[in-house]
Chains A and B, each alone.
Chain A
Amino acid sequence: MGAVFLNIPWGIVLILLPLAAAMACFLWPAVAKSVGLVTVSVVALSVVGLVWQVIESGVYRHAVGGWGAPLGIDLYADGLSLLMLAITALVGLAVSVYSTAYFEQPLSARFWPLWLFLLAALNALFLSADIFNLYVTLELMGLAAVALTALSGGRDALSGAMRYLLAALLGSLAYLFGVALLYHGFGSVDIAILAQRVEAIPVTWAALGLMSAGLVLKTALFPFHFWLPPAHASAPAPVSAALSALVVKGSFYILLRLWLKIFGPLGVDGVEGLLGLLGAAAVLWGSLQALRQTRLKLLIAYSTVAQIGYLFLAFSLAMGGGVMAWGAAAYLALSHALAKAAMFLVAGNLLRFGGHDRISDLDRVVQRLPLTMAAFALAGVSIMGLPPSGGFIGKWLLLESALVQGRWDLVAVMIFGGLLAAGYVFKVLGYAFTQAAAPHEAKAVPASMEWAALSLAATAILLGFLASLLLSLVGIGNPFGAGEVTP
């Protein structure tokens, strides 16, 4: 039984099943919800299966078509891919449960195929080892995300989606240009082969610049973050959760892979410093803007901008020689995904409850929606980086790396950022306890929506206790090249 279980190609199931399910939902909208839920559950199980497979048999590499790189495309799963797949499955499961209650016809019939395609795109992205294939998955993910953002159809959603689409396409084209240069420079688009062949010639610098710029735009790093708050704030709540938690991590993952394998070993100093500087600016700017917001979804969206800054701080510290910072990046990505998704689901609950998301008008929701506000509080704990939570572990590892490298400026930024985060989280919680000026008619919020938000937030806290387990999992296959220090 165990042997049979191990031999099923779980990685490929992760890609093919959501594709097939999305097409089924398109054909028969009436069964879309059930098909969607079943698919997401099987996807979650498949991730468990893949994790077991990788733990037993080592890194998973599958040559599609039997050709193998450089002729064919390779699928590849190591610890980092597993982490991203796990995040996708967890958030995907919660968002799907939430969406069964959130969307009604006709929006429901449009949502499920697009959502399942987005899941397929994410899984395909995290499993790919071919930079051109990554371009196709990036576009698949981007188009699905844009279509989902525009789903509510209002004026804000449409212009937010349009801006998002233009930025996404620009980023993808810059990335593709880099792919073209790398192929014509070194004769392959496979990451492992490029890692062996790459040299420090002008074409490589051009590709590095183009691909980094494109991916940084897609990850909404300051100052390229302009498209994120309008898009994430005006999308339907479960879509916002998926966008902030998963979609921006997709382009960050590709940037990570490119730098870890191809560009990093070349020993570029300036770019890491620049990214670290932009990351610090993102933390400060995003947190300050979040404090200023009057609408909850915009506050949460700017908080995403700030948290992305932390990811790039970790990236910069890690490339500067701190291997510990990679663990920080992994932990930050994971806990942010869970906590931020929980926050957006909470915002959706509040919207359903009161019909608005104005922070100052939250009418004693702590008493009337206790589960929801508990979810927000727990998620806030992780975002602020308080113990015990995943966010705390991530920030702790980050602070340690900064201290080890003597980067007192970054330590100051992190501390200040944490204070600002506490500011905007407590702002919301504060208003949640008070009575609004004029009491509102309240609509009931379905239990599944409340529990989905709460379980995500609770998992973010739970991560605080699983540090050693998760960090050893991420290290499978040595994705971070521990032991190599850039000269």
Chain B
Amino acid sequence: MNAAFLYALVGVGLFFLGLYALIVHTHLLRKILALNVMGSGVFLVLVALAKRTGNATPDPVPHAMVITGIVVAVSATALALTLMVRVAAETGRAELPDEERE
């Protein structure tokens, strides 16, 4: 176990912290933020474990994957935020109607 694993564990923690928040909170902005936190957790796991190459440079493939992932996350967040604003405009509240779960 070296320092890389510590960051990876933080990533796991972020993922489940975000998942808890996603399920528990009803306000849409909090749900979107929770998804972003979960995404950051996964990216952290990807990048942290890429440092296990010893003295050589880190593995570049996970780094490229995270760059791609960040762009995808930004795109999805933008769409989600706009949808949220429209839902709030139509229903008066930034929450999903008839909330059962997630």
Contact = CB atoms under 8 A, between A and B. Distances in A.
A24 interface: no
Interface residues of A, number: 29
B80 A176 contact: no
A226 B100 contact: yes
B62 A166 contact: no
A159 B88 CA distance: 9
B90 A162 contact: no
A163 interface: yes
A170 interface: yes
A180 interface: yes
Interface in A434-479: none
Interface stretch (A143-151, A281-289, A302-310): A143-151
B86 interface: yes
B92 to A, nearest CB: 10
B10 interface: no
A159 B96 contact: yes
Interface string A168-196: 01100100110011011000000000000
A142 B96 CA distance: 19
A262 interface: no
A107 to B, nearest CB: 16
Contacts of B3: none
A139 B75 CA distance: 10
Interface string B57-99: 0000110010011001001100110011011001100001100
A423 to B, nearest CB: 26
A136 interface: yes
B76 A165 contact: yes
A158 B79 contact: no
A132 to B, nearest CB: 6
Interface in B13-61: 15, 19, 22, 28, 31-32, 35, 38-39, 41-42, 45-46, 49-50, 52, 61
Contacts of A165: 76, 79-80, 83
Given A163-B96, A173-B35, A180-B46, A158 B76 contact: no
Contact of A162 (B41, B76, B87): B87
B90 A158 contact: yes
Provide the main secondary structure of the chain A interface.
helix
Contact of B76 (A143, A159, A183): A143
B45 A166 contact: no
Contact of A170 (B35, B52, B91, B96): B35
B15 to A, nearest CB: 6
A45 B38 CA distance: 42
Contacts of A163: 96, 102
Contact of B62 (A143, A162, A183): A183
Contacts of B28: 162
Nearest to A173: B38
B35 A177 contact: no
Given A155-B91, A163-B96, A165-B83, A136 B22 contact: no
Given A143-B79, A165-B83, A226-B102, A159 B91 contact: yes
B90 A155 contact: yes
A275 interface: no
A140 B28 CA distance: 22
A177 B45 contact: yes
Given A159-B97, A163-B96, A169-B35, A184 B49 contact: yes
Contacts of A121: none
Nearest to A181: B45
Contacts of B83: 146, 150, 158, 161-162, 165
A159 B65 CA distance: 31
A127 interface: no
A165 B96 CA distance: 12
Contact of A169 (B80, B84, B86): B80
A158 B86 contact: yes
Given A163-B96, A170-B35, A143 B75 contact: yes
A472 B96 CA distance: 47
A143 B73 CA distance: 11
Contacts of B72: 136, 139
Given A155-B90, A169-B80, A226-B100, A180 B62 contact: yes
A159 B94 CA distance: 10
The 6 closest A-B CB pairs, nearest first, are A184-B49, A155-B90, A180-B46, A162-B83, A177-B42, A139-B72
Interface of B: 15, 19, 22, 28, 31-32, 35, 38-39, 41-42, 45-46, 49-50, 52, 61-62, 65, 68-69, 72, 75-76, 79-80, 83-84, 86-87, 90-91, 96-97, 100-102
9 contacts: A132-B65, A159-B97, A165-B79, A166-B102, A167-B102, A170-B38, A176-B69, A177-B42, A184-B49
Given A173-B35, A183-B46, 4 more contacts: A139-B75, A166-B22, A166-B80, A184-B62
